[in-house]
Amino acid sequence: MALNNTPAGTIRYWAAARAAAGTSEEPYAAVTLADALDAARERHALRPEFARVLLRCSFLVDGAPVGTRDHKTVQLAEGGTVEVLPPFAGG
């Protein structure tokens, strides 16, 4: 577990989110999805497209869709995974 009992896990970026972040995954140390995404925005502040892409993404937390829930209410777990999924074209 990260400092102060803050859960630590992995954020995985897919497609356009991966391109905007410049990485396919990175660690998080955050209690909520909102906290993890805020920290990711700060880490990638020099990549302005990253914040724009996040606005269009959907998220899975440990395999469960976040949907329209407020990201401040979505709790993260130790060893968890956040999947960042931009809209996909085609079908």
Of the pLDDT bands very low, low, confident and very high (cuts 50, 70, 90), residue 88 is confident
Read off the pLDDT of residues 30-41 as tens digits, 9 standing for 90 and up.
999 999 999 999
Q: Which of 84, 75, 78, 69 minimizes the C-alpha distance to 16?
A: 84
pTM higher than the cut 0.85? yes
Task: Read off the pLDDT of residues 6-19 as tens digits, 9 standing for 90 and up.
Answer: 999 999 999 999 99
Domains of the chain: 8-85 (3.10.20.30)
Closest CA to 86 of 40, 55, 61, 46: 55
78 backbone dihedrals φ, ψ, rounded to 5°: -60, 130
Q: If you search the block for the tokens 């329209």, which residue do you land on?
A: 68
Longest dimension (CA), the chain: 44
Question: What is the rounded CA–CA span in Å between residue 17 and residue 6?
Answer: 25
